[in-house]
């Protein structure tokens, strides 16, 4: 049962719980997103049960006590599940943490290689899933201003295999692979590596097992003390890379920017 989430444990053992323990369990479920911000006594008060009942519930669910519940929630958070594990957020500490993550992301020595590959590639394919897709979309939006033949995926209903099958030597695949990746991520990388295209992986440290399959890895931290991951570091790194490609391509890129701006104006697409 150690691999089961708290809500799964409650569902599994609900029929075995006393009426008071079920009331306590319902309170845990109602506060699952910020459970670790409470003390055990506060949870007991919220449920209208005794502290002893709350303690019995924890033991019935496989925990020695509320400290183990907190550790369990921190483990879930480190795996990417939205969980509040601290009290009132310290905004100054959060801002400092974000700044440190951004600084680390944009100071990596191999960024220049990534820029050169993306500037010279025949075609660029950018892939991202779940939270990673928003940064992948940013990369496509910015990179397509500087060069042509930039493709993004996967969109709803799109099979990634179709895109991977089109890769060949001279192309570059940019993979955004932050935690809670799809189960097929490793197999996709193996297939992409066999095409001869260069592979750039932009991901947090949980992607380390996949690094041997790629040509270049750029690390970005996304973990915060908040319930959700932050993509400020990946977003800033993406802008730095796109800016570098624009600069590397020089007049060709600036001519493209002018043509795009002219197209916007002619069809009245943007203000």
CB atoms within 10 A of CB 13: 16
Q: How far is CA 269 from CA 31, 34, 147, 261, 262, in A?
A: 46, 44, 20, 10, 10
Domain ranges within the chain, ordered by starting residue: 6-78, 92-267
SS3 127: strand
Q: Please state, in angstroms and rounded to a whole number, the distance separating the CA atoms of residues 157 and 48.
A: 48
92-267 and 6-78 share a CATH fold: no
Query: What CA–CA distance (Å, rounded) separates 70 from 253?
Result: 52
What pLDDT does 226 receive?
73
Write out the DSSP string of 152-209: EEPPTT--HHHHHTT--TT-EEEEE--SS--TTHHHHHHHHHTTT-EEEEEE-GGGGG
Which residue, among 201, 81, 77, has the nearest Cα to 131 in the 3D structure? 81
39 φψ region: left (φ > 0), alpha (ψ -120 to 50), beta (else) = beta
Q: Is the pLDDT of residue 34 over 80?
A: no
C-alpha gyration radius of the chain: 24
The pLDDT of residue 271 is 73
Residue 78 is predicted with a pLDDT of 58
CATH T-level topology, domain 92-267: Rossmann fold (3.40.50)
Bridge partners of 218?
202
What integer is the mean pLDDT of 105-123? 97
Is the pLDDT score of 189 beyond 60?
A: yes
Indicate the CATH number for domain 6-78.
1.10.10.10
pLDDT per position as a tens digit, 198-222: 999 999 888 889 999 999 999 998 8
Per-residue pLDDT of 38-65, as tens digits, reads: 888 988 998 999 999 989 998 888 888 8
């Amino acid at each position: 049962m150690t691999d089961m989430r708290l809500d799964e444990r409650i569902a599994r053992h609900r029929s075995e719980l006393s009426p008071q323990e079920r009331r306590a369990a319902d309170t845990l479920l109602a506060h699952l997103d910020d459970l670790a911000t409470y003390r055990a006594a506060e949870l007991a008060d919220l449920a209208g049960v005794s502290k002893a009942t709350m303690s019995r519930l924890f033991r019935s669910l496989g925990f020695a006590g509320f400290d183990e519940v907190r550790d369990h929630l921190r483990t879930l958070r480190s795996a990417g599940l939205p969980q509040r594990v601290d009290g009132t957020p310290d905004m100054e500490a959060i801002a400092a943490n974000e700044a440190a993550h951004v600084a680390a992301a944009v100071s990596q020595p191999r960024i220049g290689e990534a820029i050169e590959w993306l500037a010279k590639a025949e075609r660029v394919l950018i892939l991202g899933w779940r939270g990673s897709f928003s940064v992948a979309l940013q990369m496509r939006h910015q990179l397509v201003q500087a060069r042509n033949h930039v493709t993004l995926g996967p969109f709803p209903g799109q099979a990634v295999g179709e895109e991977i099958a089109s890769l060949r030597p001279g192309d570059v695949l940019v993979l955004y692979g932050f935690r809670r990746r799809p189960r097929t991520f490793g197999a996709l990388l193996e297939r992409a590596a066999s095409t001869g295209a260069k592979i750039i992986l932009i991901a947090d440290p949980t992607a380390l097992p996949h690094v041997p399959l790629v040509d270049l890895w750029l690390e970005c931290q996304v973990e915060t003390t908040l319930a959700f991951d932050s993509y400020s570091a990946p977003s800033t790194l993406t802008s730095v890379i796109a800016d570098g490609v624009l600069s590397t391509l020089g007049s060709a890129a600036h001519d493209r920017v002018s043509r795009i701006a002219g197209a916007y104006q002619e069809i009245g697409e943007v203000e």
